[in-house]
Amino acid sequence: MLDIQNLRVTYGTGRLQVDAVKDVSFHVGTGEAFGLVGESGSGKSTVLRAICGLAPISGGRVLVDGREVPTPRDKAFYRTVQMVFQDPYASLHPRHTVDRTLSEPLAIHGEKDAETRIAQALREVGLGPSFRFRYPHQLSGGQRQRVAIARALLLRPKVLLLDEPTSALDASVQAEILNLLDELRRNLGLTYILVSHDLAVVAHLCDRLLVMRHGETVEETTAAALRTNQAASDYTRSLINASQGFSRDAARPESALTR
């Protein structure tokens, strides 16, 4: 479904040039959930932004369903690929009701039967009709992210790009959103690319993943390898160790442990 070939993203020129993504390649099969992981600044979110046309591609190719995507992206691309952003507090217009937010993509693409489509999208993300005419400030963070997911689903895309969709949410709400995304993928046959610095999130939702550092590929591995603490590179092993959580004993000075 998605084929990324030697993708490069460069900002600036001369001494101010920054190579944000350097010759990154991977493919994602139909119905698969694929993860991009790495520390902040590793270029993983930039890859998503390049795919959907929000970051300039300096080299390489992006193919969706076997066809190279045009620049700028056309309406046909956005019928196939949609993105869910990290911050549900920023991705929804504060002065638009949920109804207006969900009506906009349907109007842009000339879709009819908006009433039915909006009601269906809200049901799919677990929100009832009472949410339709609320404003974002009347919703919790998890409810806002559900609205953002509903907006992405309205055009019935084949691919969702998920840019850390749970990192701005409380831990209990994160689990709800992850379970929702997993259910939607199975029910609607969606293909996911999930960006996250949280290896537990990626291991829950994805089968394969690409580890990135400084805009480059470190290794491609599997969620099963993460769960069993197996990795080919020292960097990936350090990510696994860092994701295993806070240890009170490890945080104490050695002298305190020997008292």
- 12-34 confidence digits (pLDDT tens): 988 999 999 999 999 999 999 99
pLDDT of residue 257: 46
Whether domain 2-86+158-257 has CATH 3.40.50.300: yes
- Whether 48 has a pLDDT exceeding 70, the answer reads yes
* Range 160-176 average pLDDT: 90
Q: Give the pLDDT band of residue 248 (cuts 50, 70, 90).
A: very low
pLDDT of residue 251: 43
- Whether 63 has a pLDDT exceeding 90, the answer reads yes
* Range 92-119 average pLDDT: 95
| Mean pLDDT (the chain, rounded) | 90
* Range 189-214 average pLDDT: 92
Name the phi and psi angles at 79, rounded to 5: -75, -25
- 157-167 confidence digits (pLDDT tens): 999 999 999 88
- Whether 96 has a pLDDT exceeding 80, the answer reads yes
